[in-house]
Structure 1
Amino acid sequence: MSFFTSGVGVLQKIVILIGAGLGVWGVINLLEGYGNDNPGAKSQGMKQFVAGAGIVIIGTTLVPLLSGLF
């Protein structure tokens, strides 16, 4: 059972890191869009940032609930 709990912890960290990476990439695209006055890059950057934030929220709230399933 401890193996499953530690596996859920590792999965949580991986999901949070993926979300944070996507969020940082979105912020970079957003800033590039403002620097080049490109509305397409601004839109894409904002979408990536919000998606990354959503993934981080899922990683912090839903993934730990997996350990209570078994």
Structure 2
Amino acid sequence: MQFFASAVTTLQTLVVALGAGLAVWGVVNLLEGYGSDNAAAKSQGIKQLMAGGGIIVLGTTLIPLLSTLF
């Protein structure tokens, strides 16, 4: 059981790190869009930022619930 709890913690860390990476990439695209006055890059950046935030929320709320399954 300890192994499963450790695996859930590791999975949570990986999902949150993936979401944070996507959010940072979105901020970079957003700033690049503002710098070059590119509407498409701004749109892409805000979508990536929101998707990264959503993945972080899922990682912090949904993944810990896996440990209560067994």
Q: TM-score range by the shorter chain?
A: over 0.9
In 2: Cα distance, 1:58 partner to 1:2 partner: 23
- 5 Å-filtered alignment, 1:1-70, equals 1-70=1-70
Instruction: Give the Cα separation in 2 of the matches to 1:33 and 1:65.
Output: 38
CA RMSD in angstroms comes to 0.2
- % identity of equivalent residues: 66
Normalising by structure 1, report the TM-score: 1.00
Q: CA deviation at 1:60?
A: 0.2
Tell me how far apart the structure 2 counterparts of residues 12 and 60 of structure 1 sit (CA, whole Å).
Answer: 7
Deviation at 1:59, TM superposition (A): 0.3
Query: Structure 1 regions of 5+ residues with no counterpart?
Result: none
Equivalent pairs counted in the alignment come to 70
Q: Normalized against structure 2, the TM-score is what?
A: 1.00
Gaps of 5+ in 2: none
1:11-37 superposed Cα distances (whole Å, 9 cap, x missing partner) = 000000000000000000000000000
For 2:7 and 2:26, how far apart are their aligned partners in 1?
A: 29
Quick one: distance in 1 between partners of 2:44 and 2:16?
Answer: 21
